Chains A and B, each alone.
Chain A
């Protein structure tokens, strides 16, 4: 009898990974088909990003650096979309740009075009796309001193100086906020080292959830005004801009997937604790 119990406790410590994969797939499918939507409360760090956008003076523009690609677009795509909504709703002009990987600028351009159409915003007047710029730190060093010269042509190959919104834009003094949206490590550190730290330009970030813990030191020091934390941060921003969309739709899935993982960890530990107790109780 005791032996069969021991086997059970041992068994629940070693559920084959295929069953775990199947369980997770089942939970995800269940929540996609029949979502249990719960209220989403914007966090302090998301509110920080929104407030930073709202606080940009009208004579300055926002740089949205979209350094992400297809792999992380489940998180960074909705983040970009919600941030662009926030810019349009607050009447802020913005420029999309991209340092790496080059694919990001096209994906972000598609989003910006779609959202701009909703607000009747005009390219070149309310927003523009500076395109992919090669050279990381060299780009940022030059950008700070001379934006038109560094950017040259926009995403469509036209000189940025021809765009009405670029009139009077000379250097980093014309920029009221930089928002770095990325799944890449170390890009934010460049913005901090070369722009925020040197010129005091406000900076905010939007990252994949796994990266966010490493950016809390910069939040704490005030070098980052706010952070969007993965899909959850995007969903919170969607709440703030009152446009529940893809990220909000992901939240029930993420909620129950997290619950499943917690349940699995508890089951594994019950097996570990009771399995050990049975083993120690058994006469040697």
Chain B
């Protein structure tokens, strides 16, 4: 029963079976949405959200914490359908859930594109200031979409070997010639921003700030050959070797940075756990949705 239920998430045996599944899935989804919309008020909707959140969290939590066996499903003793993964009775559902989430995620891309078109379409239609930027958005999106799909699905079969068909080379130009350099150039801007931000923000207001600055200078110098050159006269062994900038930099990173990082990560992890619990038990409801209900 369980396995046949999970079977609907596996590839269909034939094209007709796939079409039937698609029709049934769409009909079921529409019927469910209509029913929910028709019979659930705002209060009912909140209860439904709380229930789905709790059930989802419970499933994934139990799957993680229940004991596992490699060859059989714990605790039923049934054969494990995927012996490559240690499993309990809930494990076989993990992959279908992952697929379902991916499908839902794929639908939201459509919503995202709708949002973009809504904002930029209005800019163009009403000729708002900077509307040509919105026009550039439509141009860029259509070009990537058309040439990307074209190059993927309709490659030029007759193109001589070694030469890219023109639609693919256009896509290469858009991707490798425009998109990638833009990405690299934007990342490079960080060098300029960090220079101006460091100059502006680093002021010795207190003794602690002075210590912090000393540590920053050592680490910055240890990170480049000119820093290593500054103390190259010091011996590489013995007590004075500690004062070579690269050794001092490594010491700061290992002995001062590491405990600080661990401390923050501990705090953040426990904070994340508490937040997860609040979401799972719908205790955070008041902040996301109105307090009633």
A–B proximity contact (CB within 8 A): yes
Chain A interface residues (CB < 8 Å from chain B): 15, 17, 20-21, 24-25, 28, 37-41, 43-45, 69-74, 103, 135, 138, 141-142, 145-146, 149, 209, 212-214, 216-217, 219-220, 229-230, 232, 251-252, 254-262, 264-265, 267-269, 272-273
- Pick the residue among B84, B186, B198 that contacts A261 (CB under 8 A): B198
Query: Which has the most chain A C-beta neighbours within 10 Å: B187, B217, B262?
Result: B187
Interface contact A269-B195, CB-CB below 8 Å: no
Instruction: Let me know if B56 is at the binding interface, CB within 8 A.
Output: no
Give, as a whole number of angstroms, the nearest-CB distance from A231 to chain B: 9
Given known pairs A268-B200, A272-B203, the reply for A146 and B257 (CB within 8 Å) is: no
Interface contact A264-B223, CB-CB below 8 Å: no
Interface contact B225-A255, CB-CB below 8 Å: yes
Interface contact B221-A262, CB-CB below 8 Å: yes
Interface contact A69-B183, CB-CB below 8 Å: yes
Instruction: Let me know if B199 is at the binding interface, CB within 8 A.
Output: yes
Give, as a whole number of angstroms, the nearest-CB distance from A218 to chain B: 9
**A-B residue pairs, 5 tightest by C-beta:** A255-B226, A145-B84, A70-B180, A71-B187, A38-B225
Instruction: Let me know if B224 is at the binding interface, CB within 8 A.
Output: yes
Interface contact B199-A261, CB-CB below 8 Å: yes
Query: Mostly helix, strand, loop or mixed at chain A's interface?
Result: helix
Q: How far is the CA of A226 from the CA of B188 in the complex (A)?
A: 26
Give, as a whole number of angstroms, the nearest-CB distance from A140 to chain B: 11
- Pick the residue among A24, A44, A264, A267 that contacts B250 (CB under 8 A): A44
Interface contact A39-B229, CB-CB below 8 Å: yes
Contacts of A25 in B (CB 8 A): 192
Q: How far is the CA of A261 from the CA of B221 in the complex (A)?
A: 11
Chain B interface residues (CB < 8 Å from chain A): 84-85, 95, 98, 179-181, 183-184, 186-188, 191-192, 194-196, 198-200, 202-204, 213, 217, 220-221, 223-229, 232, 246, 250, 253-254, 257-258, 261-262, 265
The chain A residue with its CB closest to the CB of B182 is A70
Interface contact A24-B192, CB-CB below 8 Å: yes
Interface contact B183-A251, CB-CB below 8 Å: no
Task: List 11 extra interface pairs beyond A141-B85, A229-B223, A258-B220, CB under 8 A.
Answer: A17-B200, A20-B192, A43-B250, A70-B180, A135-B98, A145-B85, A149-B84, A259-B226, A264-B195, A268-B200, A269-B202
Interface contact B186-A71, CB-CB below 8 Å: yes
Give, as a whole number of angstroms, the nearest-CB distance from B283 to chain A: 27
Give, as a whole number of angstroms, the nearest-CB distance from B253 to chain A: 5
Q: How far is the CA of A96 from the CA of B262 in the complex (A)?
A: 31
Interchain residue pairs with CB less than 8 A apart (28)? A17-B196, A17-B200, A20-B192, A20-B196, A21-B192, A21-B196, A41-B246, A43-B246, A70-B181, A70-B184, A71-B184, A71-B186, A74-B184, A103-B180, A142-B84, A149-B84, A209-B223, A212-B253, A216-B253, A256-B226, A258-B221, A258-B224, A259-B226, A261-B195, A264-B198, A265-B198, A265-B202, A269-B202
- Pick the residue among B195, B223, B261 that contacts A216 (CB under 8 A): B261
Contacts of B181 in A (CB 8 A): 70
Interface contact A41-B196, CB-CB below 8 Å: no
Contacts of B196 in A (CB 8 A): 17, 20-21
Given known pairs A70-B183, A71-B186, the reply for A268 and B258 (CB within 8 Å) is: no
The chain B residue with its CB closest to the CB of A137 is B98
Interface contact B225-A40, CB-CB below 8 Å: yes
Given known pairs A142-B85, A145-B84, A255-B226, the reply for A216 and B254 (CB within 8 Å) is: yes
Contacts of A220 in B (CB 8 A): 254, 258
Query: Which has the most chain A C-beta neighbours within 10 Å: B84, B181, B220, B250?
Result: B84
Interface contact B85-A254, CB-CB below 8 Å: no
